[in-house]
Amino acid sequence: MAKKKKEECPPLPMWMTTFSDLMSLLLTFFVLLFSMSSISREKFLKFLQTLEFMWGINIVKETKPPSEVQTSIEPPIKMYPRSEKWSDVENAAGEAKEAFQKAGIPVKDIKKAKELVLRIPADYLFAEGSYVPNPKYIPLLKKVCKILTRLGAPIRIEGHTDSKPIYKYPLIVDNWDLSLLRAIYITKLFIKWGFPEDKISTAGYADTEPIAPNTTPEGRAKNRRIDIVIFVGAEKI
């Protein structure tokens, strides 16, 4: 008896192939759209509702996006408190100046647009060619540090020299070394005594910013100085 020939499956209708291609293209479109942009949930739901209306299919049941939870974002820039008032800076500078003058050091205060400078003759604090302060004035520097710490304003310790060449091996090669090492030494003392590290900076200018001619001994003595610059942060009115 001959075996019955197995019936073949009927071919798929042509529209099924077109429909499959369309679904693949739509899937690719959505994946590409999602990968290229950050889609708002609310806008995405509205887009799906439009497709639901046009095609007559149920794509999404939720029509109202959930309320977004507000999260606190830390600002990229650190916000600092307002600048010290000029009156507070002047009072602190006056107190420090008085302490220097009682010790016999003729300190001057110079007011500029956004800063006040305490100008200290370096010959009182340092021996010639030395960057280590005279131990006699260490308590005085500590007292001034406490006054400026209470003020809370940022400061910069600047070292200045005259134009006379200097060489003391191995640390001090020229006036750049001397001016910077003097400023660094005082800065480290201030930090040791409690002045905030993020509010103090150091600079050495050698003989590049003279305040008197370097042609006379008197002028060179004026140029050898330590400047404590107090930043006010606002124009003086």
Per-residue DSSP letter, 173: S
Considering the domain architecture, whether residues 136 and 187 belong to the same structural domain is answered as: yes
167 and 52, same structural domain? no
Q: Do the domain assignments include residue 16?
A: no
Three-class DSSP category at 104 = coil
Are residues 126 and 191 in contact, defined by beta-carbon separation less than 8 angstroms? no
Say if residues 230 and 93 touch (Cβ distance below 8 Å). Answer: yes
**Which has the closest alpha carbon to 96: 136, 146, 133?**
146
More confident residue, 64 or 154: 154
| Closest C-alpha among 214, 220, 188 to residue 201 | 188
Rounded CA separation 12/33 (Å): 32
Instruction: Say whether 237 sits in a helix, a strand or coil.
Output: coil
- Establish if 5 belongs to a structural domain: no
Which strand ranges, in their side-by-side order, compose the sheet holding 225-231?
Answer: 108-111, 115-121, 225-231, 155-160, 200-204
Residue with tokens 């007011």: 111
Q: Which residue has the higher pLDDT, 53 or 146?
A: 146
Both 125 and 183 in a single domain? yes
What is the reported pLDDT for 102? 95
In a domain, 7, yes or no: no
| CATH number, domain containing residue 210 | 3.30.1330.60
β pairing state of 108-111 and 225-231: unpaired
Q: Is residue 107 part of a domain?
A: yes
pLDDT at res. 93:
94
Per-residue pLDDT at 234 exceeds 60: no
* Domain match, 222 and 188 both: yes
**Nearest alpha carbon to residue 125 among 104, 109, 143:** 104
pLDDT at 237: 35
The more confident residue out of 124 and 81 is 124
Alpha-carbon gap, residue 226 to 232, rounded angstroms: 19
Average pLDDT over residues 18-43: 72
SS3 (DSSP) at 228: strand
In this structure, the answer to whether residues 174 and 225 fall within a common structural domain is yes
Residue 69 lies in a domain: no
Residues 189 and 225 reside in one and the same domain: yes
Give the global pTM.
0.63
Residue 18 structure tokens = 């077109």
Residue 78 lies in a domain: no
Residue appearing with tokens 């010290």? 84
For the segment 174-229, what is each residue's pLDDT rounded down to a tens digit? 999 999 999 999 999 999 999 999 999 999 999 999 999 999 999 999 999 999 99
Q: Which residue has the higher pLDDT, 4 or 181?
A: 181
Same domain (yes/no): 120, 29: no
Which of 100-128 are b and which e, b meaning 16 or more Cβ less than 10 Å from the residue's Cβ? beeeebebebeeeeebbbbbbbbebbbee
On whether residue 18 sits in a domain, the answer given is: no
- Sole residue written with tokens 């590409």: 32
How many independent structural domains does the chain possess?
Answer: 2
Three-state SS annotation for 7-18:
CCCCCCCHHHHH
* Residue 133 belongs to some domain of the structure: yes
Q: Determine the structural domain holding residue 148 and report its residue range.
A: 86-231
Mean residue pLDDT across the chain: 82
Do both 119 and 174 map to the same domain? yes
Same domain, 120 and 208: yes
